[in-house]
Amino acid sequence: MKIKSIFSSCVLVSLLFVSNGCNKNPDDPSFNIFTIEDDKTLGLQVKTEIENNPSQYPLLDESTNQAQYTYIRAIVTKILDAGKVYYKDEFPWEVRIIKDDNIVNAFCVPGGYMYVYTGLIKYLDSEDELAGVMGHEMAHADRRHTTDQMTKDYGIQLLFQIVLGQNQGAISQLAANLLTLKYSRNAETEADEYAVTYICPTDWKADGFKNFFQKLEDDGGGGSSDFFSTHPSPEKRVIAITDNTIKDGCTGNKIYDTEYANFKNSL
């Protein structure tokens, strides 16, 4: 019986390593027990959690703010059309605006479901800054940082429970935990790097979002922003973003400040 148990575990581990290569970005060396479908399932459940909690996540109504959603979704489309997002066609890449002027933040959960607070929108000064911050959040989903971190946090044991049908509520539990998950500093640095990569082929300034971090540092943290909790220091991020822009040979110089002013003043 003991030999059988060990053999079963070895089979599961072998299957895990085989399945991990399916649909995986070849440029991503990390080990992730979750599939792309798992990412989408988790993201969809987080979306449901958010929609069912309007007191904590007061989503801006789409029916009365069509122009605002058209504007911000055009930014997402422009980033995707630049051709550097690996899971462009696999994830839905939806974006919603959360009406809370006191929170300077944005986040993107697995599967490409993104949320931007009006506090962040009003804190920024130009479209290229918002595009860079959104590119950063999209990179977390595209590089699968959330499920990478969850693999480290929960490990093989959780996979065994799911595979063996011993924890049917695991996905729901994980989805609820996503809203409080913190990324590692390495993940934050990589998200900054890929934000530049995503923006570089466009006409935006690829390093425009460094102004956001500089402003946060000048303001001592930007009020209720979460960007200092686990993130690298703003000074280092500004330098790294500038270096990556030079390394990638980015030539875009558009900031679209007038259009952006009209957008944020409409919120």
* DSSP element (H, E) containing 22: none
- pTM of this prediction exceeds 0.75: yes
Phi, then psi, of 173 in degrees rounded to 5: -65, -45
What is the C-alpha to C-alpha distance for residues 67 and 148, in angstroms, rounded to an integer? 36
Per-residue CA distances from 256 to 114, 132, 188, 208 (Å)? 22, 13, 26, 11
So what's the pLDDT on residue 231?
57
Higher local confidence (pLDDT), 154 or 95: 95
So what's the pLDDT on residue 250?
97
Eight-class DSSP state of 59: B
Residue 32 has pLDDT above 90, yes or no: no
Higher local confidence (pLDDT), 127 or 168: 127
By DSSP bridging, strand 106-109 and strand 95-98 are: unpaired
> Where does 52-169 have alpha helices with state H?
66-81, 118-123, 127-142, 145-163
38 contact partners, CB below 8 Å, separation of at least 6: 110, 147, 171
Residue 176 has pLDDT above 80, yes or no: no
Domain spans, the chain: 30-265
% of the chain beyond a pLDDT of 90 = 54
So what's the pLDDT on residue 10?
36
**Tokens standing for residue 83:** 């051709």
So what's the pLDDT on residue 43?
87
pLDDT in tens, 19-29: 444 556 767 66
What is the C-alpha to C-alpha distance for residues 98 and 106, in angstroms, rounded to an integer? 9
> Which residues are catalytic, by number?
137
What is the C-alpha to C-alpha distance for residues 40 and 128, in angstroms, rounded to an integer? 28
For 8-14, the CB contacts below 8 A with 24+ separation are 9/160, 12/159, 12/160, 12/163, 13/156
pLDDT in tens, 200-240: 999 999 999 999 988 988 887 544 455 555 556 778 889 99
Burial annotation 9-37 (CB, 10 A radius, 16+ → b, else e): eeeeeeeeeeebeeebeeeeebebbbebe
pLDDT in tens, 47-84: 988 998 899 999 999 999 999 999 999 999 999 999 99
Burial degree of 210 (CB within 10 A; 0-12, 13-18, 19+): buried
199 contact partners, CB below 8 Å, separation of at least 6: 79, 82, 128, 131, 132, 135, 205, 206, 208, 250, 252
Higher local confidence (pLDDT), 226 or 169: 169
Q: Average pLDDT in the 236-249 region?
A: 94
Residue 39 has pLDDT above 50, yes or no: yes
**Tokens standing for residue 13:** 């581990």
Rg (CA), the chain: 20
Closest CA to 144 of 229, 66, 38: 38
- Angle subtended at Cα 233 by Cα 230 and Cα 238, rounded to the nearest 5 degrees: 130
Q: Average pLDDT in the 106-110 region?
A: 91
